[in-house]
Chain A
Amino acid sequence: MLRALVLSFLLLTGLIAPATAQTDLQTILQTHAAEVESPGRQSVGIVLNDLAASGLPGVAAFLEAWQGREVVRNAQDGLFYRQGRAQGNDVPLLDIATGAPAGTAPKSALTESRPNGGVRREIASALVRFQLSDPDIAKRSAAVDSIARSPDPEQVALLAESIDDEPDPALKMRKEQLALMLTARFGETTEARVEAIEALAGSLSLDVRATLNQILTTTDGVAAEAPQANIARLREPGIDMPLFTAYRELVDAGLAPPRVPPAQLKEALAQHVEGGTVAGIPLAQLSDPARREEAYQALAAQGLVAPTVPEADFNRALEAHVFYSAYAETDPAVTDAARRTLDAIQTKVGVNQTADIALDALSLASIYFLAAIGLAITFGVMGVINMAHGEFIMMGAYTGYVVQLFIPNYTLSLVVALPLAFAVTFAAGVAMERLVIRWLYHRPLETLLATFGISIALQQLAKNIFGTQARPLTSPGWLDGALVINEVIQISYIRIAIFVLALIFLGLILFALNRTRLGLEVRAVTQNPGMAASMGIDPDRINMLTFGLGSGIAGIAGVAIGLYAKVTSEMGQDYIVQSFMTVVVGGVGNVWGTLAGATLIGGLQKGIEWFNPSNTLAAQTYMILFIILFIQFRPKGIVALKGRAAGD
């Protein structure tokens, strides 16, 4: 920051420019050759200073090339070049200052200069002056980003100058806000700053909060009496901080003698063992901490060890001093305004954060719903426990992956993958129903175990075919990124897509079950197969189709889940227990119930996570415990069927 300040000052006054104008870019770079070749954040400043001070025309282009890792040093002549695209082993070189072709060099002779992230940021802020009014909007907004990342008092003027000529309205607004933020922090008069701070009120932007927090930076201190400073608050030992921490602060400030910690005390005693005693106390008694303290005090009295502080002095010292936090900013008017504004913003942020969590919960619920909806049909409607349901999800995801191998266009591959995943898992479901499940309609417990057998077989098969490493399933470009409602609330498009997909399936299934011939037959067969059969319905066929439908939906869910998370042979396992819970909690035999179950579980999980953000695992544990208890008290789930359809 200081560097930029001095630099700008020199530039503005034009003191240094004429002196160095004669030298060319290569010479400057050669002066700092080592630094240019492998730059470090804290040492690159000097190079940037010299470059900017030189006022040479090629500096901006060089900095951009440097940032983009195009600068190389040729070991043959020791000079820096920009590199072109390599053709085989030979790399075409461009002159560093003019960009004119300068021959080629073998790859092995070139050392690439690789500025790291920190250096690139420094370069970016050196580039700001060149880019703020650049015709390319991308460069202008890069410059604005750079200012936002590392605000600098000297940029106030530069930024202000560029605002009027800014053609892009959105960027202009950003620039204006940025100018306000800079004024708030670095403005010259109190009035100007307070005004700027108040103008920032209501903004949810992270940068605004950052600015205000920077103004409100405090440092902790301790003194015998409260000092004449812009004090933020007083800290109470024992309440705001542990007593020992407070005492350590006193010691560090030189206001109290240090206490000897137990380990050191023990060591001191060990050094003064005389004939089986320490200060007259037998060694055997020293396993008692009180006796140790006594022995130490005795030693201290003899002047053999440094004295330690008795308990009473300790407390007295704490009481005798004032612990405070003081603002680094000395102007109370500014800090008061900033505090007021920030508090207002925080309240607003809190509300928005709650909304964001709610949105996350909704998204999680839709994922659970999508994973469970197939199960809602096979388990909920047909009453078949299918432990291989998770593996159908996995099969769908792998189908998506295989399709992407053949169709490189992500959008097209998705369009192909969704119906294909349905077809594949539908077929698998029908095969499973025909071969295994239909023999076991009377033995639900054994269905559970048989389908589990299929589940482990399918999982291992997937491992044998695809390996255990996760496979990429990449979403199309238009699903990248997030819908930004404001600076706090945002949700990724892929999650919105999953939400929409879940809604579509909800609608489709409700329609299929309640409004179509198939749905009628399904409901008839599940309620009373014998009666249905005598009405001319083929229960075999209906069971097969229903099971196929449930499985097919699992396949589509697999594609969706694979897009947002990962594709592995074990992904099904992550969802199977949760899916069963969703169906059971929601109420068996009812699609609405599944929806309710998914919402409850998703909301609950996010809610618990919110209370305990540092431990996601705990959230899952408590959620399952809650579900177990919930089922005990409401065994039929949230939406319980009544009457004959309830099945008992």
Chain B
Amino acid sequence: MTSKLLATLPAAALLLSATSALAQDCPIKVGVLHSLSGTMAISETTLKDTVEMLVAQQNEKGGLLGCQLEAVVVDPASDWPLFAEKARELLTVHNVDVIFGNWTSVSRKSVLPVIEELNGLLFYPVQYEGEESSKNVFYTGAAPNQQAIPATDYFLEELGVEKFALLGTDYVYPRTTNNILESYLISKGIAKEDIFVNYTPFGHSDWSTIVSDVVALGADGKQVGVISTINGDANIGFYKELAAQGVSADDIPVVAFSVGEEELSGLDTSNLVGHLAAWNYFMSADTPENASFIEAWHAYIGNTDRVTNDPMEAHYIGFNMWVNAATAAGSTDVDAVRMAMYGQTFPNLTGGMAEMLPNHHLSKPVLIGEIRADGQFDIISQTDPVPGDAWTDFLPESAVLTSDWKDLGCGMYNTQTSTCVQIKSNY
């Protein structure tokens, strides 16, 4: 019953879009929901600037559907409940056609019910823990299988790591990622005793005992590797302690999922050369697209020292895909754009094409970089595009789930019982 209804939806949406294309309201409003104050401001302000830059660029090219674009910026102030409030404000008061926003998972979870209730459209640009697929959200950042799993494979195959220390900040992204990695490693024949897991609070600074513990893991002669989902400031103390205890990347390599160019700017990296990070984008990527993106960014922000990072690329791809989808649909109507989004392709800044999949995730290549003394990364491995997987295959509960908004019209479809568990998200 439900699926039949949903099957007719695209048709209805197309019909709707045909009429609304004529009456396109100008200007087209682009909501920007990034914290400009509070703890997340440093990361998110950059993304706000990125969206504003993209909007300006698009307006120079003549706008969209004959309209100029207008960025509507609000400040949720790193306050999670405020994200929901501001999202409602964007959708009901400002009537924006699309929202680019959020950084932390908890802020996304806060916004989700509002976006789903009011049928908005959100582009979420940050790598996250997966286990979610909302009809109204496009996830342009990496799912675990686009960052964590390839990095672990790299550890297993290229570095021959046999014993893993999963260190993380105590919040949802590290918890879920480490859970996925734990069952992945066990499926790869790593014994449970050879996986050491530790969680520390945000901004943790007293790392000496933990680093000693990690070093001591090597006592049974196995190669130890650290997979770090340590977030933000805490990394500084962690890497300082690694350097102080003389742990070199040759002895115990560390691969980080939350350390990018921005984070390294708070550190003297000369002692960290050789440690790793996994992302879908590094500023050091050597392609003409990247060069012109960096140039445009430096020109826009008026400072040639500013770095670019992975979530910026995610917004770059997401924004351009949205523009192309709206052009294809001839409207900014959410359902029409959504149907037009599937299969959209756009060149990555690191080469190759990103493609939007029916599960609202991108297919993107995974890059592994080694830290250089200048705070940038040497890209030492680049995979073929990996399709983002909303529900991981490595946890029994979610292995049976799949997401397909195009044909199945369901973001949480149980392939075992062939039923749609839910249309709306579990927040």
Question: Distance in Å from the Cβ of A465 to the closest Cβ of chain B?
Answer: 13
Report which of B159, B246, B276 forms a contact with A482, defined as CB distance below 8 A. B246
Q: A119 contacts which chain B residues (CB < 8 A)?
A: 158
Please state if B215 and A609 are interface contacts (CB–CB under 8 Å).
no
Query: Considering the complex, which residues of chain A in the window 566-612 have a beta carbon less than 8 Å from any beta carbon of chain B?
Result: 566-568, 570, 574, 606, 609-610
Bound complex: CA A364 to CA B370 (Å): 32
Q: B378 contacts which chain A residues (CB < 8 A)?
A: 69, 114
Please state if A615 and B237 are interface contacts (CB–CB under 8 Å).
no
Q: A89: CB under 8 A from chain B?
A: no
Q: B416 contacts which chain A residues (CB < 8 A)?
A: 263, 267
Q: A2: CB under 8 A from chain B?
A: no
Question: Distance in Å from the Cβ of A326 to the closest Cβ of chain B?
Answer: 16
Please state if B381 and A116 are interface contacts (CB–CB under 8 Å).
yes
Q: B41 contacts which chain A residues (CB < 8 A)?
A: 463, 468
Bound complex: CA A114 to CA B250 (Å): 15
Please state if B245 and A492 are interface contacts (CB–CB under 8 Å).
yes
Q: B92: CB under 8 A from chain A?
A: no
Q: A276: CB under 8 A from chain B?
A: no
Question: Distance in Å from the Cβ of B401 to the closest Cβ of chain A?
Answer: 13
Q: A320: CB under 8 A from chain B?
A: no
Q: A467 contacts which chain B residues (CB < 8 A)?
A: 42
Q: A495: CB under 8 A from chain B?
A: yes
B 210-251 to A, binary, CB cutoff 8 A, 1 in contact else 0: 101101101111110000000011001100110111100111
Bound complex: CA A467 to CA B46 (Å): 12
Q: B190: CB under 8 A from chain A?
A: no
A491 in contact with B208 given A121-B250, A209-B219, A480-B244 (CB within 8 Å) = yes
Interface of A is mostly: helix
Q: Interface size (A, Cβ < 8 Å)?
A: 65
Q: A469: CB under 8 A from chain B?
A: yes
Report which of B201, B210, B212, B370 forms a contact with A117, defined as CB distance below 8 A. B370
Query: Considering the complex, which residues of chain B in the window 33-59 have a beta carbon less than 8 Å from any beta carbon of chain A?
Result: 39, 41-42
A 489-506 to B, binary, CB cutoff 8 A, 1 in contact else 0: 011111100000000000
Question: Distance in Å from the Cβ of B49 to the closest Cβ of chain A?
Answer: 14
Select from chain A the residue with minimum beta-carbon distance to B274.
Answer: A117
Q: B404: CB under 8 A from chain A?
A: no
Q: A614 contacts which chain B residues (CB < 8 A)?
A: 196-199
Question: Distance in Å from the Cβ of B117 to the closest Cβ of chain A?
Answer: 32
Please state if A616 and B218 are interface contacts (CB–CB under 8 Å).
no
Report which of A40, A117, A210, A495 forms a contact with B218, defined as CB distance below 8 A. A210
Query: Considering the complex, which residues of chain A in the window 335-351 have a beta carbon less than 8 Å from any beta carbon of chain B?
Result: 349
Question: Distance in Å from the Cβ of B148 to the closest Cβ of chain A?
Answer: 18
Q: A273 contacts which chain B residues (CB < 8 A)?
A: none
Q: A57: CB under 8 A from chain B?
A: no
Q: B170: CB under 8 A from chain A?
A: yes
Q: A133: CB under 8 A from chain B?
A: no
A206 in contact with B205 given A118-B160, A119-B158, A566-B233 (CB within 8 Å) = no
Question: Distance in Å from the Cβ of A401 to the closest Cβ of chain B?
Answer: 10
Bound complex: CA A492 to CA B378 (Å): 29
Please state if B199 and A565 are interface contacts (CB–CB under 8 Å).
no
Report which of A149, A211, A488, A616 forms a contact with B200, defined as CB distance below 8 A. A616
Please state if A606 and B209 are interface contacts (CB–CB under 8 Å).
yes
Q: A329: CB under 8 A from chain B?
A: no
Please state if A117 and B250 are interface contacts (CB–CB under 8 Å).
yes
Please state if A41 and B158 are interface contacts (CB–CB under 8 Å).
yes
A 208-224 to B, binary, CB cutoff 8 A, 1 in contact else 0: 01110110000000000
Q: B262: CB under 8 A from chain A?
A: yes
Please state if B240 and A565 are interface contacts (CB–CB under 8 Å).
yes
Total inter-chain residue pairs, C-beta < 8 Å: 156
Q: A153: CB under 8 A from chain B?
A: no
Please state if A213 and B244 are interface contacts (CB–CB under 8 Å).
no
Query: Considering the complex, which residues of chain A in the window 440-474 have a beta carbon less than 8 Å from any beta carbon of chain B?
Result: 463, 467-472, 474
Question: Distance in Å from the Cβ of B193 to the closest Cβ of chain A?
Answer: 12
B 263-305 to A, binary, CB cutoff 8 A, 1 in contact else 0: 0011110010010100000000000000000000000000000
Bound complex: CA A617 to CA B200 (Å): 6
Q: A41 contacts which chain B residues (CB < 8 A)?
A: 157-160
Bound complex: CA A617 to CA B262 (Å): 26
Select from chain B the residue with minimum beta-carbon distance to A567.
Answer: B266
Report which of A492, A561, A615 forms a contact with B198, defined as CB distance below 8 A. A615
Question: Distance in Å from the Cβ of A610 to the closest Cβ of chain B?
Answer: 8
Q: B5: CB under 8 A from chain A?
A: no
Please state if A206 and B158 are interface contacts (CB–CB under 8 Å).
no
B 378-398 to A, binary, CB cutoff 8 A, 1 in contact else 0: 111100000000000000000
Please state if A213 and B221 are interface contacts (CB–CB under 8 Å).
yes
Question: Distance in Å from the Cβ of B231 to the closest Cβ of chain A?
Answer: 12
Q: A186: CB under 8 A from chain B?
A: no
Select from chain B the residue with minimum beta-carbon distance to A491.
Answer: B208
Could you say which interface size class chain B belongs to?
35 or more
Q: A141: CB under 8 A from chain B?
A: no
Please state if B158 and A474 are interface contacts (CB–CB under 8 Å).
no
Q: A360: CB under 8 A from chain B?
A: yes
Please state if B218 and A490 are interface contacts (CB–CB under 8 Å).
no
Select from chain A the residue with minimum beta-carbon distance to B219.
Answer: A209
Q: B206: CB under 8 A from chain A?
A: yes
Please state if A209 and B159 are interface contacts (CB–CB under 8 Å).
no
Q: B424: CB under 8 A from chain A?
A: no
Q: B253 contacts which chain A residues (CB < 8 A)?
A: 117
Q: A211 contacts which chain B residues (CB < 8 A)?
A: 221
Please state if A206 and B219 are interface contacts (CB–CB under 8 Å).
yes
Q: B262 contacts which chain A residues (CB < 8 A)?
A: 469
Question: Distance in Å from the Cβ of B350 to the closest Cβ of chain A?
Answer: 15
Please state if B157 and A214 are interface contacts (CB–CB under 8 Å).
no
Select from chain A the residue with minimum beta-carbon distance to B243.
Answer: A480
Q: B206 contacts which chain A residues (CB < 8 A)?
A: 364, 367, 565
Q: B347: CB under 8 A from chain A?
A: no
Question: Distance in Å from the Cβ of A256 to the closest Cβ of chain B?
Answer: 22
Q: B109: CB under 8 A from chain A?
A: no
Q: A42: CB under 8 A from chain B?
A: yes
Select from chain B the residue with minimum beta-carbon distance to A270.
Answer: B417
Select from chain A the residue with minimum beta-carbon distance to B166.
Answer: A614
Query: Considering the complex, which residues of chain A in the window 346-371 have a beta carbon less than 8 Å from any beta carbon of chain B?
Result: 349, 353, 356-357, 360, 363-364, 367
Bound complex: CA A493 to CA B240 (Å): 12
A620 in contact with B205 given A470-B266, A480-B244, A564-B237 (CB within 8 Å) = no
Question: Distance in Å from the Cβ of A87 to the closest Cβ of chain B?
Answer: 18
Q: A289: CB under 8 A from chain B?
A: no
Q: B274 contacts which chain A residues (CB < 8 A)?
A: 117
Select from chain A the residue with minimum beta-carbon distance to B234.
Answer: A566
Q: B223 contacts which chain A residues (CB < 8 A)?
A: 149
Please state if B380 and A116 are interface contacts (CB–CB under 8 Å).
yes
Please state if A482 and B198 are interface contacts (CB–CB under 8 Å).
no
Please state if B245 and A482 are interface contacts (CB–CB under 8 Å).
yes
Please state if B158 and A214 are interface contacts (CB–CB under 8 Å).
no
20 interchain pairs (CB within 8 A)? Answer: A41-B157, A69-B378, A116-B158, A117-B159, A121-B250, A149-B251, A214-B221, A349-B219, A353-B216, A360-B209, A363-B208, A480-B271, A482-B246, A564-B240, A565-B240, A566-B203, A566-B205, A574-B205, A606-B209, A613-B209
20 A-B pairs besides A267-B416, A480-B243, A482-B245 with CB distance below 8 A are A41-B159, A41-B160, A116-B380, A118-B160, A210-B221, A214-B221, A270-B417, A363-B208, A468-B39, A468-B41, A472-B265, A481-B244, A481-B246, A492-B208, A493-B244, A495-B208, A564-B205, A567-B266, A568-B233, A613-B209
Closest 4 CB pairs of A and B: A210-B221, A565-B205, A492-B244, A470-B266
